[in-house]
Amino acid sequence: MGKVLVAYASKHHSTAEIAEAIAAELRIQGLDADCTDVSADTVTGYDAVILGSAVYAGRWLKDAHRFLKHHRDDLVRIPFWIFSSGPVGENVEEDLAENSNWLEPHKVLDLAESIGLRGHTVFAGRMPTDPHGFIEKSMVKRTPEELRDARDWDAIRRWADDVAAALAASSGTTAAPSQH
Ligand SMILES: Cc1cc2nc3c(=O)[nH]c(=O)nc-3n(C[C@H](O)[C@H](O)[C@H](O)COP(=O)(O)O)c2cc1C
């Protein structure tokens, strides 16, 4: 299997760190993986793409949505996956459960499905450590300190392992067994 791009849109960097963890795990699985902000705006030279965005007010960040639209003709030809990062706080498990209205980026999913995505997952996120403005500040304040970073690194690595296994299966090679 060739090169994989992990592209992310992140306002307060926690999604960027999830993307970096995915790329690192793909490398452990023997893949050649790059991790870049969506603003790099290219998929040229990649054989598979993972695109991720933080979710704010039920929506993906604009740049991630734009990336999906802009590269749809390339993405239709190669395997691609998407992930969203968001749920934080007391109701993480409920919010991560399917059909939560709070986190489903419907527009993005419809578009990604029309392009032929292989899968979408939602990871728990982290409240901004540097909140801007009243809304962000009050959301951070409302979330108990110990619940502000809900990112589940094992779940993130397991998902990356599944992607690596799917890519290996489609190229006829074997991925390393999951360590998680
Ligand atoms: C103002 C605000 C609105 C948010 N809205 C949502 C939301 O609708 N759904 C969700 O799952 N998470 C929501 N979150 C949580 C963020 O998605 C979470 O903090 C995420 O990890 C931020 O990613 P980033 O650090 O990459 O920007 C919101 C957070 C803030 C501060």
CA-135 nearest atom, ligand 1: 1
* Predicted pLDDT of residue 100: 59
Minimal-distance CA residue to ligand 1 atom 9: 103
Decide: 94 in ligand 1 pocket, CB within 6 A. no
Atom of ligand 1 nearest to the CA of 57: 8
C-alpha 86 – ligand 1 centre gap (Å): 5
**What pLDDT was estimated at residue 91?**
83
Q: Is 60 a domain residue?
A: yes
Buried b or exposed e, range 149-162, using 16+ CB within 10 angstroms: ebbeeeebbebbbb
The pLDDT of residue 101: 55
> Residue 180 domain-assigned?
no
pLDDT at 62: 95
pLDDT of residue 159: 98
pLDDT digits (tens, 9 = 90+) for 128-176: 999 999 999 999 999 999 999 999 999 999 999 999 999 999 887 656 6
In-domain check, residue 78: yes
Q: According to the model, what pLDDT value does residue 92 have?
A: 85
In the predicted structure, residue 68 carries a pLDDT above the cut 90 = yes
The answer to whether the CB of 38 is under 6 A from ligand 1 is no
Asked if residue 49 is part of any domain, the answer here is: yes
13 lines ligand 1 (CB under 6 A): yes
Compare 107 and 98 and report the one with higher pLDDT.
107
Asked if the structure places residue 104 within a domain, the reply is yes
Q: Which residue segment(s) compose the domain that 14 sits in? A: 3-171
Q: Residue 176: inside a domain, yes or no?
A: no
Q: Does any ligand 1 atom lie closer than 6 A to the CB of residue 128?
A: yes
Instruction: Answer whether 126 contacts ligand 1 (Cβ < 6 A).
Output: yes
Residue 178 located in a structural domain: no
Residue 10: CB within 6 Å of ligand 1? Answer: yes
113/77 Cα distance (integer angstroms): 13
What is the CATH classification number for the domain harbouring 55?
3.40.50.360
Number of domains in the chain: 1
Of all protein residues, whose CA lies closest to atom 15 belonging to ligand 1?
86
